[in-house]
Structures are given as C-alpha cells and as structure tokens.
Chain A
C-alpha cells in the first residue's frame, strides 16, 4: 500500500508521494504557480473586504466618487494587462520546458509495451515477460512506455511520477519516467472508458535493480518472449512470402528497417517507427514505399493489439545484414533478448 504521510490525519495525506526527478520539477512549478494564485486571490479578496468596509454606504442617497477615465487610468489598465501577461508567459515557458522534456524519453530508456483494454492494463517487459495491472520497474532506469488500446481511449496515470498520457486505439503514444524511489505507487486510468473505469487501476512497483533482475528471473532468459511469438506470426500470417530478404521480393525488405527514413511513392518520406509499422500492417495502402505495388492486404481486425506489438518487436529485432554475413533467409537468426533489451 501507499506510505501514508505523517500528518494529523495519518490516513488522509494532503500531498501525493513522489518518486521521480520530474515529479520534483512539476511540484516546484506547481507550487510557484500556486503562490501566484494565492497572491492574486488574496490581493483581490483583501481589497474587496477593505473597500466593502471602508466605503460602506452611510446614507441612502449617497453615490460613489466619480473617477474620470483618462490618462491617469490608462497606466493602471496597461499595468494590469502587461504584468499578468508577463507572468503568464513566464509560467507558460516553464511549463512548456517540462512538457517537452516529458515528451522526449532519454535514449537509454527501456521500452515497455502497454495495451489498455476495457478494463485492464496489459504490460510487456523488454524481455518479454508480461503482467496485468502491475508494472514492476527497476529504480534509476528510465522507463519508456509504448502504449495503445484495443478498444476505447484510456489514459495511463502514475500520480507519484506526475505524468500521464492517453492510450489511444489505432496509434502508439509514448510516455516515460525515471523512478528514483523504491515503493508501490498507484496506477490509474484517467480517461473515462466505460462501466468499470474506476476498476482499471493497478500498481507501479519500483524495485532495486538487483531485485528487479531477480523478479524478472527466468522470463528474461527464456524463449525471447514476444520476439519469438512475433516470428511465429510472421510465418503463420505469411508475411514472409513477400517480405523476403532478396532482390526479387514483392515487398520492401524489413531487415534494419526500424528507425530508418523510408522513401514513399510521390516523393514523400516517413520515419519507420512503431506507428509507421502499425499503420503498414492495418492500413497498408496509406503509405506505399517507392518502387513497390500496393498489393498488401489489410490485417485490420485479424491481429490483436498484442499480436501487432509482437510483430513490431520482431521487425525491430531484425538487424540489417552486413556484407560479411549471408543474406538472411525466411528464418533469420533471432537476437537474444538480452541483446534486445539493451537496444
């Protein structure tokens, strides 16, 4: 359970636990803006109360003192336009800096996959181990989540990390955090998703790295998890009949594809990331690689989100053939999960 704060109501904390550097940054920004809020609210409240008493009507026919509008009032109007504007822009810049940082995971982040569905979270570790409604992570390691939904829009929220991101069907969204405190923290779905929305909750368990390695245990050195499953799918869905590693293939070669720039029909380019590969599977005619015919059928509705993720992980694991190696065939060697994890 959560560690309750030691207040006068021990079971009613007034402040959420925090477990990342970014949580501290966001708290600092929050309390600064809170200070601005308290300052202006108090200023207005004190002035109102003071004027109410000081200028209270003393006789029924009394009227207020007329203040002529003119040059004298202009500076006052300008002041209370410009000062709040400058403050607001400062707050904006600070907030945008944090938001941009939250949108850019560090390059050494470990990538986890999250699939939301009514009403559970399905999570896959880099090594292929899966869990439901729980996310075990090692302390001190940036954790990047690639997330999608099988049905409606969900939102992945870890209050202790102060970050959330919507989990949207039909695309991948990304969030990341770097936990620096060992403990168990709330995981909430914050985008209303139907009847049992409030049961779509779970826990994020931050462990010492050694404990995490022990916890992940055999799964990390097992079959390679979803990469192997992805390879099976690649064969059973007959992707391999066209996506072959030879020059006569009817479809683009996938070895070394991930992260590369792809040239499309019509002169445009696209970056081959998870969203690109996902789109190419469910809506293959959306982006046609230059020099190929739009002959691929759609796999929309034939693959679950988890299967698509398995395929993406398999495709990501395919390294570009080097000159010294022979071109990989239909069954290229599967990289070891440990290698994959360090990608």
Chain B
C-alpha cells in the first residue's frame, strides 16, 4: 500500500449515503452516552467554547473599566471578582482542556491509526468530571464569584476573603481529575495503540507534544489537588499551614501553588506547539526541520518546566541563592522553545508555502510566541524582575504566550482540522479576514501593556494614576478589535456546519493518517487499520495531488 492517498476524482453520479460518526446515530442520549473519542471531542468543543465566551465577557468588562483611571464602571470588589474569575475560567476551564480535549481527543487516535483511545469510557468520564467541576465554578460565579486572584495566595484566600473560595477551589480540584485521566488515556494510547509500523519517530509532532503534555498533567495536577486540600483545611478547620497567625507560612503556599501552576503553563502551550508543527509541515509541504530536536524539545520543556516554579517568587523574600538557581533553570527552559522556533522557521526554507488560513495562524503563533518567550527571558532575569514583577509587563508577557500562543495554535488547529471534524469547508476569504483581525487586535491590546508595565502600573489595579490612561485606552480599543475578531470565526464556523461546501478526505493535500480516512471520519475511524511504512511529513516521496474543488466523500476509505 502506498504511503499516500490519491484523491478521488470528482464523481458525477449521486453519492451513496455515507455513514460517519456524526450521522450514524441521533438524539441527545447518543451524544451524552457516547464513547466515541470524536464525539467526546465535540462535547469538549462546545463546553470549552462556552467557558471561553464567559471568560471573554469578563475580559471585556475589565478592559471597559480600565478605559478611565477612576474605578467608575464597576466597584472594586466586583472588579476583583471579574479578573479572578476571568483567570480561573480561562486557565482551568478553557486553556488547559481546549487543545487536548478537542483536538487531542479527536486526532490522536486518527493520527496513530487507532479506532479510539485506550479507555473510551474513562474518556467520557473525563468530560463529565470536567463538566461537574465547571458547574461548581459556575455556581460560585452565580453566588458572587471569588476575589482572591486566580493564584489564591494565602493568607488572603484562607483567612481574609468572604467570598466562596472553597466552592471554586473544589471546582478546580474536581476538574483536575479530568485533566489527569485525559493525560493517562493519551499516554496509554500513544504507547499501546499505534498502528503497525508507526514507530516513535514516525509519529506526528502533535502526538509527541501531547505525550509531553500528558506527563505534566499526570505528575503535576495532583500537587494542585493537595494544595487545594491544604487551603481548605486552613480555611475551614483553621489548621495553621499558611497563615502566620495560625503558625503557618504564606510563602509555602506560593511554592505549592507554582509547583503545579508553572508546569500548567506548559500544559497550555505544548499542545499548541504540536499544532503548529503540523501546520508548518502541511502548508510548506515538507518535513519539519530537525524533527528529532522538535520532538525532544517537547519532552525537555515538560521536564525542565517542573524545575522553574520559584521564578514567580523572586521578590517574595526567598533566599538569593535559591533565586539564582531558579533564574538559571528558567533560562534553560527557554532553549528548547527557541529550538522549536528556529526549526519551524527553517522548515519554511524552500518550502511550498500556501497562505491558507491555518498557516496564517501558525505563522502568527511563531511571531507572537517569540515575543512572549523572549519577554519571559526578561522576567527570568533577576535584575529586571525586581522592577517588572507583578506589573502589566507580566500581564502582557503571559497573554502573548496564552492568547498569542495557545489560542492562536488552537484557532489554527480548528481551521486546519475543521473540514475533517465536520466534513464542511468554511469561507476562505472571511477566515483570512478573521485571522488578520485577531492578529491586529491582539497586538494592539497587549503590546501597550508591556510599556505600562515598565512604567510601573501594577497588575490587578481597579483604578490607576492618570498618566497611564492613554496606553490603557489603546489596549481597550485593541480588545474591541480582538473581540470582533473572535466573532468572525464563531459565525462562519457555525454557518459552515449547515451551509458550507462538503470537504474532501484531504482538502489541504496534507500527509497524515487522519487525512487518509474520510471527512468526517467513519465511526471506527478506519475501515482497516493502516500499516505505516513512512515517516511523518514525507512529502518529497509523495504524489500529493490535491484536487480542488474538493470531491464529495464516497462511502469508503479512499486509498491508492
């Protein structure tokens, strides 16, 4: 069997009805009780999107409030709840589950030639756990929300605030198990269920990135669970752990918290890096340069990511020698990220580069992630952190990583695999308009915040001195553009599900097992499990002949 797929010639006669994972059963129960990884991915898509909208609305109110120096739109304690809940929803209920839950769930079995994940029931359980955690948090939001900041620093969170900390923390605690189980599922699946011939170094880099992510989810998430239990013990039972008035140590909380929450940053960014590797290869039509280096840099990031947590605490009164060690380790974690960026860029050299929408997102990712990463090096530099720590500089930095990086990657991935997921094409023109709007809106929103930070504007300020207003207004204006930018894909994605043209099995002319099966894939992904005799992205040996307009799917898997 050849490595690659030839495309079906357009057929004239009416196609026989094609049964795939979306239309083989109907009804709410067929969705809520499904064990199909593809349907579970759709469940995740719907739920993370809802949380993204909720978190986004809070961001809008925050930016509106900050257009004037006085705290005049909402009161201080409302404002504090808004940025706290914005952070909690976006981090724990959107960024962490988004790419693994939606794209990872949908694609890992397809990419490795498996019929499903190793534990389909556990996969569904993961989603239910996520939903239960989300409902807890949503309930806390309706009950007024929490005002501790998403970081829950003690003793503010344990002894001082009157808001429902325990409910929200419990929501995060519960959702953590969803994350652990998903990671476990992925690791077992990747180890045990690869198609014959699919060796580790033939795996798509998306799978490598998810493998690295899963390791962090499994090893890191229990620590936040324990931290939450300790927080609850102090808040409910007044056991002195963190509050010095009870005999505790507040800096201990920060160590525990960041021991998970720094690696969690890599849970959010690594899958996006995996997406970008796929996109760059597919739209330059050549193997990712330095495949092994890119693969192992994911593992290196996962491992080193556990050793840098105290760089969040350089001004928290830790020993200067500890600070020096954590600074140098933080410099080291920048290296595998740099390796990825250089390899992606070099992949473009002598490529066959198409300017399709997913590629625009991928290139946007590389540029914005580079800025986010290098400003991370600034923050890891002890002398600079003294000044910019806890200012808007750090806000700008991590939004470049999280929004400019993780969400750009997620959007790029959604656009790339949307035809596979739904079997429909979205309008090319509007998708490019959307990508450009998001890119511009993003930069106008967050670039001024770097300057605000260096000027000294602290984060989490409800009111601020007058001289910071111009830059804040710029940022809010950018946020408006960014918000509109996200609306565009939301509209055409939904539109495309009903009115979009049917997608072929391989609309991009890309290589990868997921493109060898039909769009949308049949219930069991492949009619027969493929045997793999080629490495990822071997376009140079291919006879890729993408045929546009796309052929209509036939009722069989298309093969040479």
Contact = CB atoms under 8 A, between A and B. Distances in A.
B455 A15 contact: yes
A171 B243 CA distance: 12
Task: State which size class the interface on A falls in.
Answer: 35 or more
B290 A164 contact: no
A91 B540 contact: no
Contact of B355 (A56, A73, A84, A165): A56
B383 A96 contact: yes
B542 A63 contact: yes
A113 interface: no
A168 B370 contact: no
A52 interface: yes
Contact of A153 (B71, B153, B331): B153
B367 A76 contact: no
A301 B348 contact: no
Nearest to A162: B387
Task: State which size class the interface on B falls in.
Answer: 35 or more
Interface in A113-158: 118, 151-153, 155, 157
Interface stretch (A38-46, A206-214, A288-296, A311-319): A38-46
Contacts of B258: none
A26 B332 CA distance: 22
A94 B156 contact: no
A56 B467 contact: no
A51 B363 CA distance: 11
B381 A100 contact: no
B387 A164 contact: yes
B164 interface: no
A122 to B, nearest CB: 18
Interface of A is mostly: mixed
Interface in B440-473: 451, 454-456, 458-467, 469-471
A48 B387 contact: no
Interface in B2-19: none
Given A84-B334, A99-B314, A198-B461, A192 B149 contact: yes
Interface of B is mostly: helix
Given A16-B455, A162-B386, A77 B290 contact: yes
Interface stretch (A28-36, A237-245, A254-262): A28-36
B353 interface: yes
Interface stretch (A6-14, A220-228, A321-329): A6-14
Contacts of A84: 334-335, 338
Given A16-B455, A36-B374, A64-B285, A164 B389 contact: yes
Interface stretch (B131-139, B266-274, B317-325, B488-496): B317-325
Contacts of A234: none
Interface stretch (A183-191, A263-271, A331-339): A183-191
B456 A157 contact: yes
Contacts of A100: 320, 324
B384 A29 contact: yes
Contact of B366 (A2, A48, A81): A48
A155 B335 CA distance: 31
Nearest to A51: B348
B339 A81 contact: yes
Contact of A92 (B331, B343, B367): B331
A99 B290 contact: no
B544 A61 contact: yes
Given A92-B331, A191-B153, A76 B346 contact: yes
A297 interface: no
B271 to A, nearest CB: 21
B465 A48 contact: no
Identify the interface centre among A85, A97, A188: most chain B CB within 10 Å of its CB.
A188
Interface of B: 71, 76-77, 80, 147-149, 151, 153, 155-156, 160-161, 243-245, 247, 249-251, 284-287, 289-293, 314-317, 320, 323-324, 327-328, 331-332, 334-335, 338-339, 341-343, 345-346, 348-355, 363, 366-367, 370-371, 374-375, 377-378, 380-387, 389-391, 451, 454-456, 458-467, 469-471, 509, 539-540, 542, 544-546, 548
6 contacts: A11-B470, A37-B374, A51-B348, A94-B383, A99-B327, A169-B245
Given A55-B353, A84-B335, A96-B383, 15 more contacts: A34-B378, A37-B374, A47-B348, A64-B286, A65-B351, A80-B342, A98-B386, A118-B160, A168-B251, A169-B155, A169-B243, A169-B244, A170-B244, A194-B160, A300-B247
